[in-house]
Amino acid sequence: MKAQSSPKASEPLTWLELPSRPLRRNQVRLRVATAGVNPVDWKMRGYEFLGIAQRLLGPSGPIVVGIDVAGTVTEVGADVKGFALGDRVVGGTDFSKRERGSYAEEAIVAQENCAKLPDCVPFDTAAGLPVAGSTAWIALYEHGRLRERTSPKVLVLGAAGGVGHLAVQLAARVNAQVFGVCSTRNLAFVESLGATPLDYTKGDVSEAAKALGPFDIVLDCVGSAEYPRSFCQPQLKPDGIHVQIVPRASDLPFIALPGRTFTVLGRASQERLEGLVSAVASGELKVHIAERIPLAEAERAHAVSRGGKVVGKLVLVA
């Protein structure tokens, strides 16, 4: 099969021919229709230790990045239940279990990490859900217990990006009052998602947020370099929580100890994906696609994502 990969992680992505791998008993093989782009895809390429881990643990040959995938089932493992040839599905590949990613003609996904797609949910929309949607889902509904709170208020930092724009909608659909921090050019977009927008390029956004809080959840989709704990914690209600998705080493003591700062690893379980797909099917959740880019241009997609200005999601089309 062909994959967008490179012999060395630091070299540009190009088409490489790689051998197909046999399925494990719990896996399905997909013909890739679309692959969502996440910053972790290009961050992985920069980490030399991932190259070493790949050599020691992974399949031989070049690394194939990409977690988000949507496509059609072409083969099912011996123990797979509930998926059949020809099914339309969305899923998340699992690099940590020695797998290859989704920037390829075919991808392998564990049945626990994928869900069926109804015909009303297009492949390009679906490919925006696994990492970004699961991250927002875990932060708000699992750590934040948003659905159990009364008249909740949520502050989303980085509300226009892949995770942020889904988080705003997932909060708004359970009747939270949502406030979204973004730059001037994205104010109307963030408002259209259901949030009151706050412009971080004009004035003191911390003071502006304090005047609107306190919040049940402060979800930081940008990073503690921009929004440190000293920004986030004073915004919280007494039982409020601060969720980080881009922790730095200096945050680790606060994450490790019991407290009000949590970090999230956005894993795409079947249950989360089914919840996300159902929200899309019912019209409560929209994936804003910034650009559909041919899979052959994955290197360009990474350059765009690295720029840090993507509004919604970038999707690669096979």
Question: Shortest approach of ligand NAP to residue 151 CB, angstroms?
Answer: 25
Instruction: Please say whether the beta carbons of 72 and 107 come within 8 A.
Output: no
Site string for ligand NAP, 224-253 (x = CB under 6 A): --x------------------xx-------
Query: Out of 3, 13, 127, 132, which residue is the one contacting ligand NAP (CB under 6 A)?
Result: 132
Give the residue, chosen from 115, 154, 209, 221, that forms a contact with ligand NAP under the rule CB under 6 A: 221
Selected from 35, 104, 131, 219, the binder of ligand NAP by CB under 6 A is 131
Residues 63 and 50: their CA atoms lie apart, in Å, by 9
- The answer to whether 158 contacts ligand NAP (rule: CB under 6 A) is yes
Out of 123, 305, 315, 316, the residue judged to bind ligand NAP by CB under 6 A:
305
Residue whose CB is less far from ligand NAP, 26 or 183: 183
Window 187-216: residues binding ligand NAP (CB under 6 A) = 200
Q: How many residues bind ligand NAP (CB under 6 A)?
A: 31
- End-to-end C-alpha distance for the chain, whole angstroms: 13
The alpha carbon torsion through 160, 272, 29, 63 (nearest 10 deg) reads 50
Q: Which residues contact 118 (CB under 8 A, 6 or more apart)?
A: 88, 277, 281
Strands, DSSP E only, in the chain? 2-5, 14-17, 27-37, 68-76, 88-92, 106-110, 114-116, 153-157, 177-182, 195-199, 215-220, 236-244, 261-263, 289-294, 313-317
Q: Which spans of this chain sit near ligand NAP (rule: CB under 6 A)?
A: 38-40, 131-132, 135, 157-158, 160-164, 181-183, 186, 200, 221-222, 226, 245-246, 264-266, 305, 308-311
